[in-house]
Structure 1
Amino acid sequence: MNTPAKQTPPALILIDVQTAFNNLAYWGGSRNNPGAEQNISALLKHWRENKLPLFHVKHNSTQPGSLLSANSPGNAFMAAAMPFGGETIIPKSVNSAFIGTNLKQLLDEQGIKSVIIAGFITEHCVSTTTRMAANLGYNTYVIADATVSFARSGVNGEHFSADTIHAVSLATLKDEFATIITTEQAKNIRQ
């Protein structure tokens, strides 16, 4: 009798949930998803209680004066996403959590086929990591209510709200690169 292969649960990848993003003025003046940190905390609780694969990604900027540089207080993890001892931290210095890191190796060693992505900033590191995950063949999900965008100025000086940036960023990922879900939906994905 053939035994079905055990399905590996999806990994939660938390992108750059760092205190630098509390400085609204630095990032554009306003942000969306005021409940994102609460949702990230709920995701962490669920993943920990169920002993599911979890990866914390931390941006260590090489840009002089960046709030995310390794020697800046803004480099610290937010309280809502503080890693516990033994949880994997992936340091990166570019937008993708796959470039210059061992993330792919760790996912592949554990047989992980699906990744669920949340964190900061939707249009930057979340998007870049999502696109690469999909291109590398992972079944990829982005959690809309656990990701954050900031207001931006356009090339002609026009203002785009954080909600607009977030919505457009998710729209560019939807279907081609990822399935867009909510925090509650993420808790029910099995593989």
Structure 2
Amino acid sequence: MPLPALLLIDMQRGMQMPSLPPRNNPQAEHVIAQLLQVWRARGAPVVHMRHLSRTVGSVFWPGQVGAEFQPELAPFAHEHVVDKHVPDAFVHSNLERWLHVRGISELVLVGVSTNNSVEATARSAGNLGFATYVVADATFTFAKSDFNGVPRSAEEVHAMALANLQDEYAHVLNSAAALQLLAEAAI
């Protein structure tokens, strides 16, 4: 049985811009790097999502520095890269087919932002029948006002996005539990 795939979502330089609102989970990149190292050491599948904007002037416009992967989380040549133009990595991409061809049924999601691309991708993964796991300490987001104009901290936005996913579309866990999931799958 294939090992769970680690999906790194939008870990690009544009997510490190100082002009972005305050974020939560400042150690997320470190945790993601640790997970990535273990996944690679076990020979488990790794997939990198890259957001490429269709808006001219966006930091995620192809060819801009912001669209580049963060160097410490950049894909190896043999790792699959999915370019996407919307938050959901399954929309207008080959991701679902790529996973099915390899018999991969379990997905572990990490990256940014919890309430946008991570949540959108996790919802589709769950709806498509994948066993989906979102790693809370390996995801992060930014402060944002709610629909009523009430400012919400990044931690509040993060917690609500995870609550939206928990037990409906995905299982939310921490990085230690994600490593245990990989270890058990390798038995």
Which TM bucket (shorter chain)? over 0.9
The alignment partner of 1:145 has SS state of strand
Larger Rg over CA atoms: 1
Report the equivalent of 1:59.
51
Report the equivalent of 1:139.
131
CA distance in 1, matches of 2:97, 2:105: 12
Whichever residue aligns with residue 58 of structure 2, its letter is S
Report matched runs for 1:24-63 at 5 Å.
24-25=18-19, 27=20, 29-63=21-55
Q: How many residues align?
A: 183
CA distance in 2, matches of 1:95, 1:82: 19
Whichever residue aligns with residue 63 of structure 2, its letter is N
Conservation of the 8 A alpha-carbon contact between 1:58 and 1:92:
yes
Conservation of the 8 A alpha-carbon contact between 1:18 and 1:78:
yes
CA RMSD of aligned residues (A): 1.1
CA distance in 1, matches of 2:80, 2:107: 15
Report the equivalent of 1:3.
none
The alignment partner of 2:62 has SS state of coil
The alignment partner of 2:180 has SS state of coil
The alignment partner of 2:7 has SS state of strand
Q: Structure 2 length as normaliser, TM-score? A: 0.94
Q: 1:79 Cα shift?
A: 2.2
* Candidates 13, 16, 35, aligned match of 1:22: 16
Establish whether residue 95 from structure 1 lines up as the match of residue 90 from structure 2: no
Report the equivalent of 1:186.
178
Whichever residue aligns with residue 185 of structure 1, its letter is A
Runs of at least 4 residues off by over 4 Å: none
Percent identical: 38
The alignment partner of 2:26 has SS state of coil
Structure 1: 5+ residue runs without aligned partners?
1-6
Report the equivalent of 1:157.
149
Q: 1:23 Cα shift?
A: 1.4
Report the equivalent of 1:4.
none
Conservation of the 8 A alpha-carbon contact between 2:45 and 2:79:
no
